[in-house]
Amino acid sequence: MTRRALLGAAGGAALLAVAGCNPFSSAGKTLTVTEEAPPPTTPLLGLVFKTKLHVQHLQAAIRVDKRDRALLTILLSDRQAHLAALQTEYARSIGRATPQSTAVPTTGVTVPSDPDEVMGVIRGDAGQAQNMFTDAMSTAPRYQAELFASIAACMATHRAVLA
C-alpha cells in the first residue's frame, strides 16, 4: 500500500468519525416525531400591520400637506379599503366572523413638513407595498393571492399617479 493510499484511507476514516458515522455499527437509528409540523406561515398579519402604518402615513400627510391634500385623500380611501379587506381575510383565516378593530390610530406617526418630502414618503410606501404584496402572492392560498394581486396592482397605479 502506498503512502498516498494510506493517508487517503486515514483521512476518510477521520472524516467519518468527525461526522458521527460509524460504518462498523449495526445499530439502526430511530427517529421519533413528538410534535406536529407547524402550520405554514402566512404573510397576512405582517401585511395588515404594514398597511396600517401606510394609512397612518397618509393621514399624517393629509394633515401636513395642503398642496396635495385632494390626491392624498383619494389614495387614503384606497388604502383604507385595502386594510379593511386584509383585516376581514385575516379574521376569516383564524376563524373569527369579523375583524377585531378596523380603526387606525391617527397619532404617533410624523411626516416631514415639506410637501415634496411628504410625497417622497408616500411614494416610498407605495413602492414598498407593491413589492410586499407581489412577494406575498407566491406563498399565499388562492383567494389571498388574488387579494394580494389586486392590492399590488392598485399600488402600481398609486406609484404612477405619484410619479
Cell of 87: 383585516
Is 70 exceeded by the pLDDT of residue 159? Answer: yes
Q: Mean pLDDT over residues 124-145, rounded? A: 92
pLDDT range class, residue 127, cuts 50, 70, 90 = very high
Output the pLDDT for position 106.
57
Closest by CA position to 131, among listed 104, 96, 158:
158
Report the percentage of the chain scoring pLDDT > 90.
Answer: 51
Output the pLDDT for position 122.
93
Is 70 exceeded by the pLDDT of residue 156? Answer: yes
Q: Which residue has the higher pLDDT, 66 or 27?
A: 66
Output the pLDDT for position 96.
75
pLDDT in tens, 57-72: 999 999 998 999 999 9
pLDDT in tens, 66-99: 999 999 999 999 999 999 999 999 988 888 766 6
pLDDT range class, residue 23, cuts 50, 70, 90 = low
Output the pLDDT for position 4.
85
Q: Mean pLDDT over residues 88-112, rounded? A: 73
Q: Are 67 and 116 in contact (CB under 8 A)?
A: no
Output the pLDDT for position 28.
63
Residues 6+ apart with CB under 8 A from 64: 111, 112, 113, 115, 118
- Give the length of the chain: 163
Q: How far apart are CA 79 and CA 58, in angstroms?
A: 9
CATH number of 44-162: 1.20.1260.10
Please state the φ and ψ torsions of residue 68, each to the nearest 5 degrees: -110, 20
DSSP state, residue 95: T
Q: Which amino acid is at 65?
A: D
Half-sphere exposure of 144 (CA within 13 A, CB side): 23
- How is 47-76 classified by DSSP, letter by letter? HHHHHHHHHHHHHHHHHH-STTHHHHHHHH
